[in-house]
Chain A
Amino acid sequence: MDDVVLGSVTEFLKRVPPFQFLSEEQLRQLARRIEVHYFPRGSALIRRGERPPDYLWVVVRGGVKKTLRSATGEEHIFEVASEGDLVGVLSSVNGLEGQLDDIAIEDTVCYAIPRAVVQELIATEPAVARFFLGALREWVRTSLTALERQEETGDGSLLLSAPCRSVARQPLLTCTPETSVREAARRMSAERVNSIVVVDAQGVGIGIVTDWDLRERVIALGRTLETPVREVMSTPLVTIDADQLLLEAVRLMIGRRINHLVVTEEGRPLGMLTAFDLLVQQGTSALFLARAIDRETRTERLAYVLEQAQRQLLPFLLSRGIRASEIAQLLSEVNDRVIARVLVLLEQELGPPPVPYCWLVFGSEGRREQTIRTDQDNGIVYSDPPAGQEELVRSYFLRLGQWAVERLVALGFPPCPGRYSADNPDWVMPVDEWKRRFRAWMAVPEPQSVLSSLIVFDFRGVHGELALATELRSYVRQELAHSPRFLFHVAAISTAHPPPLGFLGRFVVERSGEHKNQLDLKIGGTGAIVNLVRLFALEHGIEETNTLARLLALREARVIESQLADDLAQAFEFLLGLRVRVQLEQLRRGERPSNFVDPRQLSSLDRTLLKEAFRVIGRTQAVVRERFHLEQAGE
């Protein structure tokens, strides 16, 4: 019985994703099973914390705001769903209880699709499933809502800060290297898992066979099913200790571009952790993001992904109690992926590079300490070109640098005001020239070159031939060993800015100007610690660039006594976190993020900790001054 009602419902739904993927007949079947709901202005479709609603709603008329009230009673509106938008996706797809308050902002009519129907569509229509499970929109929503829920309940199962043990699936399916593909596949399907771990005679995991391996390395290559798994397995087996945080697992999966991790306990395989497990656990945010980056073939679209990372992932993780330094590392994985993606796309446009090269990032990017994207500091090192080819090769990389920087700017990585970027020929050089530059800096230290070196010496290879970066790194280490005069200058600069803490432990704030009554969290704060720790690291040949990693290495090498190392690490962590919180607040208010904060607007706890952090910095600077026989700076 076809009729006007079904017709009008179908007509509407066929314009709405994901239903537009359905055939006319499927749409008609769907339309037959919907309900029409009406929500007067101010009424709730979903209430936070209440049991999952029985429907997925498509807004036909009106609008629905998705909001949360913070502890202070302030309302945050995450999104407004209007005609053609969906409400209740999370609940209908994942069966989660209400995550946000979804309130009609005007009299609203919705088509309501019963949850069972949604589930059925997901099970039978891959396009619909992809839309629901993979769409970035959902990623955002998932992240935000999971965060809020856990913040509320305060339970210990915060996904990313829970140990891998809590999610690892057991028991682990294992086989020997000689097992046939046929047998391995049979056991995988019997156990309904998509991977099997290959272990040697001692029970040590040596590789893994996943559905992907079977498809790509057996079926696609036409191999027989009697092939032993050792010939098709993926190696090495990537493992993670059961006590490591899931955050670490996510980072590993992103970094290695894998979906399976074997969770080990004291070296023995304990269970399997898959990207899907994380998905189920709502911890997919970062993974989804990484996948989205790898899928994007157009640079512009990456901007959206990055925007999400900054706007959503960062506050999300921060409010979950994840440390700022860890968030920064996670975001640097994301940024690295974007940079690599941009370069891969450019290599396709410009043709393959004439010689191997490595994309370097400097400064906070090099240290993996960037949270809010500030500016891009980068350069290119390439293999020494064959004789006669120098100019040709140089012009290729100059163009690559120029274009890459432009694209990154378009993606929201602000240009570097100091021009420490790969669109500046000064930072696009063959290995040999880099070394000469470094040697010159160290031999004849001048204020400008020492300043440059501070930024550049935190370099890290991101894309291309990473060995080139490693080569430069060990060169720096060797040269520094006999450049005491250079280190003296580094020490002078590193202690030039005392923390803004005055007589009797009062904060020293700006007396006038744009930042009147505010103090700088960077110059005498995070920046001061970075400088001090870098000084020690350079002096003692430590190749790490990340401040906390440097501190750990310095502590283990007994260069810095453990108490001071811990104090510095805590001070750094606190300052970094405070800075991010302040900047997020500035962004939220539509201001440009700065490093300034008015201490009177901080909580008393933050003020106390801030003073404590500044005191640690002051103490360390005093130690350095004494060691290098420097005069007290300033004042």
Chain B
Amino acid sequence: MSEQNGWLTRLSGLVRQLGFEADSRRLLEIRYTVLDTEMTGLNVERDELLALGAIRMVGTRILVSERFYSLIRPSARRWGASVPIHGIRPIDVAEAPELSTVLPEFLAFSAGTVFVGHGVEVDRLFLERAASRQGLRLPRALWIDTGRVARWLASHHGTFAEAAADRGRFSLEELLTAYDIEPPARHHALADAFVTAQLWQRLLSELINERIETLRDLRLVGLC
């Protein structure tokens, strides 16, 4: 018991050192930007954003009225390897705005919100890199990875070993099937953001059941 308390104290101390304020905002009231990106490839140094899709949530409510979607014209001309994944060909983005136009719009759209995405670490890295190329900085924000949350919930339900053994079970694809969420289209940044939002609705409800009710709670278990 005391050992666990000690662990929690250390963790929250660490969290504070990292510069986050103790955050008592309630998960059910927070404004979220649920996002997904498509890239020319997975190398953050070399590859670029091709599409950015996002949808707003307030608590578990998805607001269809607040969507963001744009294709982005990259500086490179060739990204043949990833075309089969997202279906975006060079010709599709020939008329698209450049990152310098899209990024500020997206930052305005997402200002003051908590970011949510599936495997959102990748999206964050690409957005940070893109921002720095524009001479911008992403505002400090919290990022929640639905994949990690799902894994945490699974382990919390006593299936940690399984969860650790089978990472594939927590792919977006698998989770959508498990939660019976029907994707309107796959590997389309807005469609994926939309289904991720629906996934977050369910995970959020499960978190509440586990008494994870505020951002602070979420941070204490290491999920943002």
Report which A residues bind B (CB closer than 8 A). 1, 3-9, 31-38, 40, 43, 61, 107, 109, 112
Contact = CB atoms under 8 A, between A and B. Distances in A.
A37 B61 contact: yes
A3 B191 CA distance: 9
A107 B198 CA distance: 12
A121 to B, nearest CB: 16
Contact of A35 (B63, B194, B202, B209): B63
B205 A5 contact: no
Given A38-B198, A38-B201, A40-B205, A5 B65 contact: no
- Mostly, the B contact residues are mixed
B64 interface: yes
Given A35-B62, A36-B62, A4 B184 contact: yes
16 contacts: A3-B67, A3-B190, A7-B184, A32-B64, A32-B65, A35-B62, A36-B197, A37-B60, A37-B201, A38-B60, A38-B198, A40-B202, A40-B206, A107-B179, A107-B202, A109-B201
B180 A61 contact: yes
Nearest to B209: A40
Contacts of A36: 61-62, 64, 197-198, 201
Interface string B49-86: 00000010000111111010100000000000000000
Interface in B4-42: none
A34 B184 CA distance: 17
B125 interface: no
B180 A112 contact: no
Given A36-B198, A107-B202, A5 B61 contact: no
Interface string B191-208: 100100110011001100
A308 B197 CA distance: 41
A34 B194 CA distance: 13
Interface of B: 55, 60-65, 67, 69, 179-180, 182, 184-185, 188, 190-191, 194, 197-198, 201-202, 205-206, 209
Contact of A5 (B179, B184, B206): B184
B190 A4 contact: yes
A302 B103 CA distance: 62
Given A34-B64, A35-B61, A5 B201 contact: no
A103 to B, nearest CB: 15
Contacts of A112: 61
A5 B190 contact: yes
Given A38-B198, A109-B198, A5 B60 contact: no
A147 to B, nearest CB: 32
A6 B179 CA distance: 22
B177 to A, nearest CB: 14
A27 to B, nearest CB: 12
A3 B69 CA distance: 8
B185 A4 contact: yes
A6 B64 CA distance: 8
Given A3-B69, A5-B194, A7-B184, A33 B205 contact: no
Contacts of A6: 64
Given A34-B64, A36-B201, A61-B182, 15 more contacts: A3-B69, A4-B184, A4-B190, A4-B194, A5-B55, A5-B184, A5-B190, A8-B184, A35-B63, A35-B64, A36-B197, A36-B198, A37-B61, A38-B198, A107-B202
Contacts of A8: 184, 194
Contacts of A43: 205
A477 to B, nearest CB: 72
B178 to A, nearest CB: 11
Contacts of A109: 198, 201
A460 to B, nearest CB: 58
Nearest to A11: B184
A35 B184 CA distance: 16
